[in-house]
Structure 1
Amino acid sequence: MRPAFLAVEGVDGCGKTGIVAAIVNHLASHGIDVLATREPGGTHQGEQIRSLILSGADDAWDPHSELLLMTAARVEHVRRVILPAVASGRSVVSDRYVGSTIAYQGAGRGMSVDFITGLHAAAVGDVWPDLTIILDLDAGIGLSRSRRRLGASNVDEGRFETLDLEFHRRIRQSYLDQARISPDRHVVVDASGTPAEVLDRTLFAIDAWNAQRQHGSSLQLNFQGGT
C-alpha cells in the first residue's frame, strides 16, 4: 500500500483506540511503515490543548472557543506530524480528525458545518484523510461504555460524556451523513458485537479499500463484515 492517511471516527465508547492499535499492527505486519496518532493531541501543543478541552464542566468553553482550540491543535498536528510522515513515505492512522469536529461542534453544538469546513480550509488547508473509518454504534451503548471506562480510570477526559444522550445521537447521525455525502472517502463499519468481530470487519474493509484504490473504484457505504 502506498502511503495513506487514515482516520478512525465514531461516537464515544465505540472502540476507536483499540481499533487504531490493531490497524497499525496489521499494516506493520505487511511491511508497511505506519504511525499511530490522535486528536486532539499528536504533538506537545495538541496534548496540552487536549487536557484543556476534554476536562472539566461542559460550560468551561464557549462553542466557538472550543472549535478554535480543536482547530489550533489540528494545525500543529497536520504541520508537524501528518504531512511530514506521509511525505517521508509513512502511512498515518489517526484516532479522530476533522470528522469529529463536524460531528461534535457541528451537529452536537449546532455550529455551521460550512463555517467549520471553511475554517479548516483556511487554517489547515485541503488536508483530508484518504479513508475515514466510521465505527458505527448505538449512541446509548457507546456512552455507557465510555462513562464506565472513565469511572474506572484516573483520566479526566469526560467533558463530552457529561452531555445528554440526544447530543451523542446527533454525533452518530452526523458521521452517517458524512459517509453518505462522501462515500468514496468513508467506510461505515458495524461496531456492535465482540471486539474480535469489529476488528475483523475493520481490517477486511481496509484491505478491500486498498485493493479497490489500486483500480480507482470506490467502496460501498456500509460494511457489515468480512467473513
Structure 2
Amino acid sequence: MTGRFITFEGGEGAGKSTQIGRLRQRLEAVPLEVLATREPGGSVRAEKIRAFILEGKAKHLGPFAEAVLFTAARIDHVDRTILPALQRGVHVLCDRFADSTRAYQGASGQVDPELIGSLERIALKGLRPDVTFILDLPAEVGLSRVGRRQADLGEGTDRFEQEGIGFHQALREAFLAIAEADPERCVVIDADRDPDAIEEAIWSALRERLPELTGETRAAHVA
C-alpha cells in the first residue's frame, strides 16, 4: 500500500468539505494523484445507505442499528474505493471515517464502545488513517454555519443536523477525546476562523507529519 490515507473529522458545519477541496488542489499541484471521497458514501452501494440514514429512515431503529448501517456502507467503501486507490499509489482524502461512528453513535448515541470497536475491526480490516484532521469549533458556531448554508442553498436539515445542541456539544467532546487518546494520528485544527487560516494550519501540520506529500522531502533532496 503506497498511497497515504488522510481523514477529516468534526462536528456539523466544521468546514471539512471546503478544506478537503483546498488540500486536494495543493497536493495535485505538487503534483500528486489524489482521490477525495466521503462517508457515509464513496461507492454506489454506500451512497444508497447514506441517503437512507441521512433522510432519517433509520432513526427509529436506534443508534446501534445506525452504527451497523454505517459499518455496512464502510465495508463497501473500503473494499471498492479506498483500498484499490491506495494500492495504486493514490492518496485518499476522506470526509469522515470510523471516528465519526465512535463519536456519533458511540459517545453521543451511547452505544457500547466494545460494540463500536467490533464493528470497526470488521469494516477496516487493519486499515488506519495516516493522519486525521479534527476540525474543532463550538457546536453553536457550527450549527449557525449549517443554518446559513441551508438558507443560501435552499436545503433541508439532515438526520443529525436536527439533533439538539446538547447532542452536538457531546459530539465535540467526543472528537476531542479521540484526538487526546491518539495524538500520533490525530491533529486538532481550530476551525473557528477564516478558511485561509484553517488551510494553512492543515498544510503546516501535514508538512510535519507527511513531508513527502507537501514536496518538502523532494525539495530538500534537490537542494
Calculate the TM-score normalised by the size of structure 2: 0.89
Determine if the alignment matches structure 1 residue 15 to structure 2 residue 23. no
Question: Once the 2 structures are TM-superposed, how far is the Cα of residue 143 of structure 1 from its aligned partner?
Answer: 1.4
- SS of corresponding position for 2:37: strand
Find the aligned partners of 2:73 and 2:176 in 1 and give their Cα distance: 25
Which 4+ residue blocks in structure 1 deviate beyond 4 angstroms?
154-157
Cα pair 1:13 1:146 within 8 Å, conserved: yes
Paired position in structure 2 for 1:224: none
Aligned residue runs from structure 1 range 28-177, under 5 A: 28-56=28-56, 59-156=59-156, 158-177=158-177
Q: 1:58 to 1:13 in 2, by over 3 A?
A: farther
- SS of corresponding position for 2:161: helix
Aligned residue runs from structure 1 range 200-211, under 5 A: 200-211=200-211
Cα pair 2:8 2:133 within 8 Å, conserved: yes
Find the aligned partners of 1:147 and 1:61 in 2 and give their Cα distance: 27
1:25-57 deviation line (CA, Å, top 9, x unaligned): 111111111100000010011111111111137
Find the aligned partners of 2:47 and 2:123 in 1 and give their Cα distance: 19
Structure 2 gaps of 5+ residues are 214-223
- SS of corresponding position for 1:162: coil
- SS of corresponding position for 2:126: coil
Calculate the TM-score normalised by the size of structure 1: 0.88
RMSD: 1.8
Cα pair 2:67 2:105 within 8 Å, conserved: yes
Q: 1:123 to 1:208 in 2, by over 3 A?
A: closer
Question: Once the 2 structures are TM-superposed, how far is the Cα of residue 208 of structure 1 from its aligned partner?
Answer: 1.7
Q: 1:37 to 1:30 in 2, by over 3 A?
A: same
Q: 1:179 to 1:210 in 2, by over 3 A?
A: same
> Identity rate of aligned residues, in percent?
38
1:88-140 deviation line (CA, Å, top 9, x unaligned): 11110000000110010011101122211111102331112111000111111
Aligned length, in residue pairs? 212
Question: Once the 2 structures are TM-superposed, how far is the Cα of residue 148 of structure 1 from its aligned partner?
Answer: 2.8
Paired position in structure 1 for 2:190: 190
Cα pair 1:6 1:94 within 8 Å, conserved: yes
Q: 1:36 to 1:212 in 2, by over 3 A?
A: closer
